[in-house]
Chain A
Amino acid sequence: MLDFTFTEEQEMIRESVREFAQKKIAPIALEMEKTRQIPEDIIKGMADLGLIAPTVSPEYGGQGFDAVTAGIIAEELARADVTGSIPVFYLVQASWGHIFDKYGTEEAKREVLPNVTKGKWFLGIATTESDAGSDVAGTRTTIRKEGDHYVVNGEKMYISGVREAYTRGGGHITIAKQNPELGTRGMTLFYLPLQSKGIIPTYVDDLGREGISTGGFTIDNVVIPKHYIIGEENRGFYIVHEGYEYARGLISVICAGAGLQSLERGKKYLKERKAFGQPLAKFEALQFRLAEHYTKLSFLRLGAYWALWTYDQEAKGKATRFEVSKAIAMAKMFASEWSNAAIDEVMQWQGAFGYTRECPDQAAWRAIRSFAWAEGSKEIMRVIVSRELLGKEYISYK
């Protein structure tokens, strides 16, 4: 059985999201470069449609969507928002909402998830620190149990949605060391509300995705209740990778969608712009570039949906953890690079206009570039695939 079609329902979902995204988001996307926030009516519109963390179960306000369906929404948002802000807002909450739903306690889910799906709160992920990114085991933040609650100390850096959670409410699924001597087996994942006493946010002025903040925060003796623990104590390292995989799958679709959409703009431009007495589209040198990028991104798109599908197969017992990790890493390995290359080409076609702030593709280029690091760098994707191919014993580091 090999069938590349989406279900009737998924097609309807795509159509509805596309209409919404093209009508409401596309026209104002570039404005976010200046306003530096996602307009409130768009967040409300997304919540009304059920687009915020749709991976969460219906009893907590979500739609119970699987990864492929979540991917369809991600693609349409990426095709509409050239700044990439809304796709990030979406993908982080869809992925980590799913993890919260799967591993969070009943009490925490009732408290947090409905506020997330309604668009009131923001739910993010915080693993990276100033001194530890790819190497999660290098985490310095600690969590310790004190009676019926926990106390957290440390800092997190390069985290998406800090301002959103700090001002709107909500927080980040955070990793910290509970038993440092146990290494990766001594790390715990928990929900950290950013409005907790003892959190001080900072912000970084990064290159793109202006509508959503990137920042960090210091954690000074922050007290969290027991029911905020996500999954079991000391299992954090494993659970966090599951979330990363979800996010990486969505990122891959986003890269494909944003790149293909940029090529659509480019195609139109090639047909309209004339040089040397004919439309640019008549020059074979440019035609071939279009054909190549389109082909690459179409394969990326297929690969990304396949990876998300593999993720869904695991839930049905039809794929192993390793198969999922590998599929997802393969999908993300070239995602930002290929997408950036295509967008770069489209900027090139547009001549000097391509180098102005008015050109939507420059915003897309800057946004997509972030995905070469975010939620796992492209090098780490190679590490993962190599590990799956050769076996753990060939990992080059300890």
Chain B
Amino acid sequence: MNILVLVKQVPDTSDVKFDERGVMIREGVQSILNVFDQFALEEALRLRQKYGGEVSVMTLAPEQAKTAVQKCLALGADKAYHISDKAFGGSDTLATSYALSLAIRKAGNFDLIMAGNQATDGDTGHIGPQVAEWLGIPHVSYVEQVLSIENGRATVKSILEDGYRIVDVELPALFACLPPTNFEYTNPSMSGIIKAKSKPYTWWKADDIDGDKSKFGLNGSPTRVLKMYPPPKRSRGTVFTGDYHDAVKKIIEALMEKKVIE
């Protein structure tokens, strides 16, 4: 089993703030490994334990994302590919997924590619399906668990809004993973952190991957972010602190007036 996990470093969205002009206030915001990707990695490590093989991780990102990749190695991944070049600046999902697919081809033959279902910053959920399309392999999104791998096929559980599907897919395939709500993330162990230092870490620049360079970076990105702004705020309404009966009556009256209840 040769598994590749696609990983992205993201700002911790639980403490991200934006100013009025939509510029992110970076002060005090930690960069973390996208939690969906950590789940994908832990699932991959579980598969390695069960079926043997190797787990690689790959990111396309500026140099500072190394800490997130290093965390993957500390958690148990065997090796890392880090694709970093100014040429990739301003990539949208199409350009990102194209470059990633080229790097994946170069890195070798993988039986399984795992990604997060979405990154908590860009939040598009495009990269997994797009990479699969560029590589011409099947994929499943919202994968909560890889149930089994047998005879070159994998069976996975994929979450629907109102239930789930059990899907059987021919390998190689890509799975975009979604952690179950009660998933307990592992912290890298001390010995894992020490071992990570000596694991293979490959750096590639744009010139190291073969492909159509006009499809890289901003130039290769069909979408543009026109502007960003904080979401419109709802304002505080009437808050009752006194008698419950009185408050409930007043609220019901108002709701009827607004015709939200009949």
A and B found bound together: yes
Bound state CA distance, A55 and B58, in angstroms?
33
CB distance from A270 to the nearest CB of B (A): 17
Is the CB of B194 closer than 8 A to any CB of chain A? yes
Residues of B contacting A65 in the complex (Cβ-Cβ under 8 angstroms)? 190
Bound state CA distance, A9 and B189, in angstroms?
12
Q: Are A12 and B193 in contact (CB under 8 A)?
A: yes
Q: Are A63 and B190 in contact (CB under 8 A)?
A: yes
Q: Hey, what's the 0/1 contact readout for B162-194 against A, CB within 8 Å counting as 1? A: 000000000000000000000001011111011
Q: Hey, what's the 0/1 contact readout for B56-76 against A, CB within 8 Å counting as 1? A: 000000000001001100100
- Chain A binding surface SS class: helix
Q: Answer whether A63 and B188 are a contact pair too, CB < 8 Å, given A12-B67, A12-B70.
A: no
Partner of B188, one of A16, A54, A58: A16
Bound state CA distance, A54 and B187, in angstroms?
16
Q: Are B190 and A50 in contact (CB under 8 A)?
A: yes
Partner of B67, one of A8, A17, A51: A8
Q: Hey, what's the 0/1 contact readout for A287-310 against B, CB within 8 Å counting as 1? A: 000000000000000000000000
Residues of A contacting B191 in the complex (Cβ-Cβ under 8 angstroms)? 50, 58, 63
Bound state CA distance, A63 and B193, in angstroms?
10
Partner of B74, one of A16, A48, A54: A16
Q: Hey, what's the 0/1 contact readout for A1-33 against B, CB within 8 Å counting as 1? A: 000000011011101110110000000000000
Residues of B contacting A319 in the complex (Cβ-Cβ under 8 angstroms)? none
Closest residue on chain B to residue A17 by CB atoms: B187
Q: Answer whether A20 and B67 are a contact pair too, CB < 8 Å, given A12-B74, A12-B193.
A: no
CB distance from A330 to the nearest CB of B (A): 29
Bound state CA distance, A63 and B71, in angstroms?
18
Q: Answer whether A9 and B67 are a contact pair too, CB < 8 Å, given A20-B187, A48-B189, A49-B187.
A: no
Question: What number of A residues sit within 8 Å (CB to CB) of B?
Answer: 18
CB distance from A80 to the nearest CB of B (A): 13
Is the CB of B106 closer than 8 A to any CB of chain A? no
Q: Hey, what's the 0/1 contact readout for B202-215 against A, CB within 8 Å counting as 1? A: 00000000000000
Partner of A49, one of B71, B185, B190, B197: B190
Q: Are A9 and B187 in contact (CB under 8 A)?
A: no
Bound state CA distance, A49 and B190, in angstroms?
6
Residues of B contacting A11 in the complex (Cβ-Cβ under 8 angstroms)? 67
Bound state CA distance, A20 and B186, in angstroms?
9
Q: Most B CB atoms within 10 A — which of A8, A12, A58?
A: A12
Q: Are B194 and A49 in contact (CB under 8 A)?
A: no
Bound state CA distance, A48 and B190, in angstroms?
9
Q: Are A12 and B189 in contact (CB under 8 A)?
A: no
Q: Answer whether A50 and B67 are a contact pair too, CB < 8 Å, given A12-B74, A63-B194.
A: no
Chain B residues close to A by CB (< 8 Å): 67, 70-71, 74, 185, 187-191, 193-194, 196-197
19 additional contacts, CB 8 Å, given A12-B74, A19-B187?
A9-B193, A9-B197, A13-B193, A15-B71, A16-B74, A16-B188, A16-B189, A16-B190, A16-B193, A19-B185, A48-B189, A49-B189, A49-B190, A50-B191, A51-B190, A54-B190, A63-B190, A63-B194, A65-B190
- In the complex, 30 of the A-B residue pairs with CB atoms within 8 angstroms, ordered by the A residue number, are A8-B67, A9-B193, A9-B194, A9-B197, A12-B67, A12-B70, A12-B74, A12-B188, A12-B193, A12-B196, A13-B190, A13-B193, A15-B71, A16-B74, A16-B187, A16-B189, A16-B193, A19-B185, A19-B187, A20-B187, A48-B189, A49-B187, A50-B189, A50-B190, A50-B191, A51-B190, A54-B190, A58-B191, A63-B190, A63-B191
Q: Considering the complex of A and B, which 7 residue pairs feature the smallest CB-CB distances, nearest first?
A: A50-B190, A16-B187, A63-B190, A20-B187, A16-B188, A49-B189, A12-B193
